[in-house]
Amino acid sequence: MNDWTIIKILSWTESYLKKHSIDSPRLTAETLLAYCLGAKRLDLYLQHDRPLQKNELSDFKALIKRRIQNEPVAYIIGKKGFFESDFDVAKGVLIPRPDTETLVEQALKILNIGKGNPGPRMVLELGTGSGAIIVSLAKAIPNYLYFAVDISVAALAIAKKNAEKIAKNQIRFFAGSWFSSLRENSKFDLIVSNPPYIPTTDIQDLQPEIKKFEPILALDGGKEGSDSFRSILKNAYNYLVPGGSILLEIGFDQSEMVQSISEQYTEYRSVDFIKDLAGHSRVALIKKID
């Protein structure tokens, strides 16, 4: 087996993954082999003619076996790139998505506008998961006060680890459901969340790597996909300063539903929607009255 060079095993693996209908087969092969060898993807081509050792081949084969069983690459290698940082992830924690970067970008615009205001700005994330959103914000604007909540203790452990690694541990974490673990007099300038918003009946139609491996708790938004939006908007205004904002990631076809829910409360004065790179309404921006 010592004739298996890096370039040869990459080509073979790409073909093998294609046969098993795995998305991005070449990228997957490169990512898993680089992880297996403790190298960067570029190094694979700089050392393309290097033979793999028997133990390296064995380890790589085990990774490929996991991938063709639909386990996400992020869980296999234990990390996922998001907003210019590598976040630790593990089973039981939702994998950060590129779509969510739209929410982070909008949050930074809001926070940057308020830089000249006196006093510290306070930011809360509901359902933090891996911490990708709140950690990215804290890294970009470190002089604000950041708080994050999640009902999953396992998720909080991962989020704290990411905060220590990426944002120098400047975030306070709380275990609980939405606002339940916060003081009633807590007031935030901005509340952000990527809550569960997939209708229960749609879960079965998700890709195998999602429905078989990622936490359903972080995906299932109830019968209409609206349960989380209703719970958050019912209480969020009590935790916002006058004129404060809420940013919610939403499904591409949920803007009318979210607007209808927010309009049930006179405490909110406006609802706007921000589109993602595909042109879909991806983030709801809801403002409290001044």
pLDDT confidence of residue 113: 75
Summary mean pLDDT of the chain: 95
- Other CB atoms within 10 Å distance of the CB of residue 213: 17
- pLDDT, tens digit (0-9, with 9 covering 90-100), for 238-285: 999 999 999 999 999 999 999 999 999 999 998 999 999 899 999 999
Q: What is the mean pLDDT of residues 60-81?
A: 98
What's the topology of domain 88-288? Answer: Rossmann fold (3.40.50)
**pLDDT tens digit string along 172-229?**
999 999 999 998 889 999 999 999 999 999 999 999 999 999 999 999 999 999 999 9
Q: Structural domain boundaries of the chain? A: 6-69, 88-288
The pLDDT > 70 percentage for the chain reads 97
Which range, of 1-5, 63-67, 84-88, averages the lowest pLDDT? 1-5
CB atoms within 10 A of CB 20: 12
| pLDDT > 90? residue 118 | no
Q: What is the DSSP string of 108-153?
A: HHHHHHGGGSSS--EEEEES-TTSHHHHHHHHHSTTSEEEEEES-H
- In 3-state terms, what secondary structure has residue 220? strand
**CA dist., res. 206 & res. 197, Å (int):** 13
Whether 126 contacts 195, CB under 8 Å: yes
**What are the C-alpha distances in Å from 203 to residues 8, 73, 96, 212, 241?**
38, 20, 18, 10, 36
What helix, strand, coil percent values describe the chain, rounded to 5? 45, 20, 35
